[in-house]
Structure 1
Amino acid sequence: MMLIFGLMLLLKTAACLEFNCWFNQADPCHAALGDKLTLLLMMPDTRTYDLKIQKRISSKEKDPVCKIKKGTIRECDLFNNRPEVTFVNGTLIINHVIRADSGTYRLVVFDSESTEIPKGDLQVIVEAPIGSVEVSIICSSSGVRRASCSSDGDPLFFSWTLNGDPLMDGNATIDLDEGTDGNISCSVKNHVSHQQMIFSVKHYPESSASLVHVLVWCLQMMFLLGLLGGFHIYMRLTSGKKREDEKVRMRRFREGHEHTAED
């Protein structure tokens, strides 16, 4: 049997406060909800071009755009009423990312004849950072312990280690047998943050485990014997009362018979 004697240590990794992406990169751009995101246009001099950043929603709707002329945002229905969105030195800066910033963006350049030239697409995925990690232990009578790990944030990826050695990846729960002993860590991460909790697990010696089983068995037997003893006493009391009632009836019967004979 094992004894979980406490949660020992909470390790917290600092989440990045700024995420940098650029148009035409191969992988999606992951950004943390509430943090800063910079989108690099990767152009030599944006002040000599008219630009347009378009969020592609669907072919049936008019996609919102943000037009940039001479290095300054001029017309923009993409980030309406958001002063935290700026354009500086060829970089679009979102100082406080929100859920609505997720989506696919296209960078378009206008040439000297005002012809639109696509320069690249970028998929932005906004994720909530990982919150504090919590671990709960469920004990079973067979000695198996089930450890469950949980946290806020999305999406969540779990991994476990025992004394530094990998146990299992991908699952929020693991089963710990009677022989498990040492430091177990649960790590939770997504594309923008990472958190970890470490807790210690100890096990009882086998003799202690046997003693516990014996004590449980003795208590169960005492309970059953108590029930049987109570039932036996109840039957004896009931039987004695019946015999007493029979004697009273017989005595009354004899007394009644004697009175009749005298008359």
Structure 2
Amino acid sequence: MLNMGAVLVLLIGVTDGVKTFCNATQPHITTQCFGSLGGTVEVQLPAQSSQDDTYELRKNNVLIAKTALIITDTRYSFIVSTGIFTIKDVKRSDNGTYSMVIHNVGGIEIANVTWFLSIQAPVSSPHLSRVCLSRGQQRVSCSAGGDGPHYSWSLDGHPLNDTHLLSGPSTASDITLELGLLTCSVSNNTSNTAANITLSVCDVLMG
């Protein structure tokens, strides 16, 4: 018989990195979750309503945990009292479809949830550069590493609308405009970061 507060898998060590959270308690759908490469992901699953409930946790339809069974991968943990499933030191190989089924003491299924975990490298600190054009215009480029970076800009602390631009949409990594304190923000599904550049008057053309 299990203790309601038992941690069924012992998690060893502490890993630095981005921590993400996903709620996968809704039945009959596959919830999209994201994990940050090298970080920690926590997935909220249905919790045990009774200490006699049993559960099975699977990845890509392969059993990775069962009631009173230690998971072989020590990066995993599942706390039955809270329903929190944790993966630390997230790897590319953690990408996949997961599911958990809970049965009561009578063998009746009381919970069945599925989630798809996508792993992304977090975005790096952006690098900003500018090139002076004619008539005081400046082309600014923003680049960052990581998976699927999304770019957004602000000028003097305010969101940069397309009407302020001489070329390029406000979601591009390369835009043209004139003066001000420009901030480039970069994000993906697991992380975000930003960098600033002050756009001063361009007196000469720069290559």
State the TM-score, normalizing by the size of structure 1.
0.58
More helix by share: 1
Matches of 1:16 and 1:46 in 2, distance apart?
Answer: 34
User: CA, structure 1 residues 24+83, in 2 after alignment: closer, same or farther (shift >3 Å)?
Assistant: same
Matches of 1:104 and 1:40 in 2, distance apart?
Answer: 15
Aligned to 2:149: 156
Aligned to 2:65: 67
Q: CA deviation at 1:33?
A: 1.4
Equivalent residues of 2:182, 2:198 under 8 A apart = yes
Secondary structure in structure 2 of the residue aligned to 1:48: coil
Matches of 1:98 and 1:141 in 2, distance apart?
Answer: 48
Question: What is the RMSD computed on CA atoms of the aligned residues?
Answer: 2.9
Aligned to 1:131: 124
The one-letter code matched in structure 2 to 1:85 is Y
After TM superposition, list the pairs within 5 Å mapping 1:200-239 onto structure 2: 200-203=198-201
* Superimposed CA distance per residue, residues 9-47 of structure 1 (whole angstroms, 9 cap, x where no aligned partner): xxxxxx984333233347522222111222232223464
In structure 2, runs of 5+ residues without a counterpart are: 1-15, 161-168
Aligned to 2:54: 50
Q: Matched residues, percent identical?
A: 27
Equivalent residues of 1:24, 1:122 under 8 A apart = no
Q: CA deviation at 1:200?
A: 0.6
User: CA, structure 1 residues 113+66, in 2 after alignment: closer, same or farther (shift >3 Å)?
Assistant: farther
After TM superposition, list the pairs within 5 Å mapping 1:230-249 onto structure 2: none
Secondary structure in structure 2 of the residue aligned to 1:175: strand
Aligned to 2:7: none
Q: CA deviation at 1:149?
A: 0.4
Equivalent residues of 1:16, 1:192 under 8 A apart = no
Structure 1 segments (4+ residues) deviating >6 Å = none
User: CA, structure 1 residues 43+118, in 2 after alignment: closer, same or farther (shift >3 Å)?
Assistant: closer
Aligned to 1:260: none
Secondary structure in structure 2 of the residue aligned to 1:169: coil
In structure 1, runs of 5+ residues without a counterpart are: 1-14, 57-62, 214-263
User: CA, structure 1 residues 73+18, in 2 after alignment: closer, same or farther (shift >3 Å)?
Assistant: farther
Equivalent residues of 1:35, 1:97 under 8 A apart = yes
After TM superposition, list the pairs within 5 Å mapping 1:23-42 onto structure 2: 23-25=24-26, 28-42=32-46
Aligned to 1:84: 75
